[in-house]
Amino acid sequence: MPELIKLSKSCIGKEEKFAVARVLDAGYLGMGQEVMFFEKELEAFFSNNVHVACVNTGTSALHLALQACDIGAGDEVVIPSITYIASFQATSATGAKPIACDIDPKTGCLSLKALRNKITKNTKAIMYVHYASGVGERDSIFAFAKEFNLRVIEDAAHSFGGRYKGKRIGEDADIACFSFDGIKNITCGEGGGVVSSDQKLIDKIRDLRLLGVQKDTEKRYSGQRSWDFDVEEQGWRYHMSNINAAIGREQLKKFDDFSDKRRSLAKLYVEQLKGLPIKTLDLNFDEIVPHIFPILITDQKREFLKEFLYQHDVETGIHYKPNHLLTKYKGIDCPNAEIFGECLLSLPLHVELKAEDVVRVTSLIKKYLEKA
């Protein structure tokens, strides 16, 4: 019986296990020097042009970025409907209203044309999601935001390590938020980070992640606690632990190998799927580091193909159901997002996937299409 080809997978080696053991042996498991070192290493990764605050999840990163921009009740944040629910939940957690916006069907990213119709006097920010690690109309969106004096918070959970015009994603951002959960381009087990050149914003996030306790970060980095302190606004217990940072530090060392593998697998998928009645996204795999590999299959065949692959020991996923169709965020129709959501199917992609696995998956797709 063939071995199951998993959709995604955590890829952890002995180095990460030794790093965790080192932290356990040291006996300081909370937020301390490991987090400080990880933040400094990430800043160097981004060419030292930015500041980094590490938190416990990518969702926390989005929530704190919004709060640090003074976004709250009565404000609106425009978000593409095709994204994980975290983008919407992080926004509504501040008291602000997430406004679902349609997408460009070629990329899955926010559509500038649709965005123009979503701006109101209450709009304070755009959450620009890097769908499937792509950048879409990023330059135009940034120019538009500048014209209307809007903050741009990039939900770059899919695109850690990718480049755009020679710079790392996040290096020239207003604010970029990353996820380091178990299956992302690098993992901390669980974790996230906010990246910005705005030092004041990062300092504010460093307080907010520690329940709003002012300047507690410096104490934690030296293995101490603040006992006489002040709090001026609502904070959260969103800090990263030394255990998670230790995993992330080892993963960062492996990033070049991870990115090469992900890119080569994605390019092989494109090559193998060429000529089939299936669409792939307009993505530059020489620059981005793909986190997922979605395809678009039309004529209502998606569910049948998904089941066919599962019966042949291949896991697939759907990234994502449009958020404006969810009860909590029910909103105005986003026609491109709805069609896109009905056709989406994500194929397996992770660094332990082999080239022969990709060939097996695509051969099964060809077999299914011949029968269909």
48 pLDDT higher than 80: no
Residue 1, pLDDT > 70, answer: no
In the structure, what pLDDT confidence band is assigned to residue 294 with cuts at 50, 70 and 90?
very high
Q: How far is CA 179 from CA 64, 148, 241, in A?
A: 13, 28, 15
pLDDT at 175: 98
**233/324 Cα distance (integer angstroms):** 31
pLDDT at 42 over 80: yes
* Tens of pLDDT, residues 97-144: 999 999 999 999 999 999 999 999 999 999 999 999 999 999 999 999
Please write the tens of the pLDDT for every residue from 314-365: 999 999 999 999 999 998 889 999 999 999 999 999 999 999 999 999 999 9
Round to whole Å and give the CA distance between 13 and 329. Answer: 40
Q: Taking all residues of the chain, what is their mean pLDDT, rounded to a whole number?
A: 96
All domains in the chain, ordered by first residue:
14-253 (3.40.640.10), 255-371 (3.90.1150.10)
* CA 184-189-190 angle, 5° bins: 85
The confidence band for 51, taking pLDDT boundaries of 50, 70 and 90, is very high
Q: Model-level pTM greater than 0.85?
A: yes
For every residue of 85-153, DSSP letters joined together read HHHHHHHHHTT-EEEEE-B-TTTSSBPHHHHHTT--TTEEEEEEE-GGG--TTHHHHHHHHHHTT-EEE
Question: What percentage of residues in the chain have a pLDDT greater than 90?
Answer: 96
pLDDT of residue 50: 95
Residue 52 has pLDDT above 90, yes or no: yes
pLDDT of 300 higher than 80: no
Residue 25: band (very low, low, confident or very high) from pLDDT cuts 50, 70, 90: very high
